[in-house]
Amino acid sequence: MQRVGFILKVKEDKIEEYRKHHDHVWPEMLEALREAGWHNYSLFMREDGLLFGYVETPDFEKALARMAETEVNKRWQDFMAPYFEGIGGQHADESMVPLEQVFYLE
């Protein structure tokens, strides 16, 4: 199982809206994530909007690709795109660059 961490940046003026949308993620989006192999998926955010994501999956690239094939992911990514800065017109899921794991305590 791969453990993957990544960082994105939520626009400071959109932080509260972003939080509210994640209080009620669309059920079909949650189902698609599970079916695509996303496990223990968590998002953590600092007050300035720096977002740290963590997911466990057998294959991160395959999990991303499987989500990219779904209609609900396209809708969600289009909906969420205005909340992020520094993604250069891409969707957030296209900007998830895995961080290097430097330590893991089993």
pLDDT at 69: 97
pLDDT at 13: 98
Longest dimension (CA), the chain: 38
pLDDT at 89: 85
Per-residue model confidence as pLDDT tens digits over 45-104: 999 999 999 999 999 999 999 999 999 999 999 999 999 999 988 999 999 989 999 999
Domains annotated for the chain, with CATH where assigned, are: 2-87 (3.30.70.100)
How big is the CA angle at 43 (ends 41 and 45), to the nearest 5 degrees?
170
pLDDT at 19: 97
Asked if residue 9 has pLDDT above 90, the reply is yes
Task: Name the burial class of residue 73, with classes exposed (0-12), middle (13-18) and buried (19+) by CB atoms within 10 angstroms of its CB.
Answer: buried
Instruction: Name the H helices within the chain.
Output: 15-23, 27-35, 60-68, 71-80
Asked if residue 1 has pLDDT above 90, the reply is yes
pLDDT at 106: 86
Structure tokens at 50: 């720096």
Structure tokens at 77: 């990514």
- Kindly indicate the confidence band of residue 10, based on its pLDDT and cuts at 50, 70 and 90: very high
What amino acid positions are annotated as catalytic residues?
Answer: 22
Asked if residue 7 has pLDDT above 90, the reply is yes
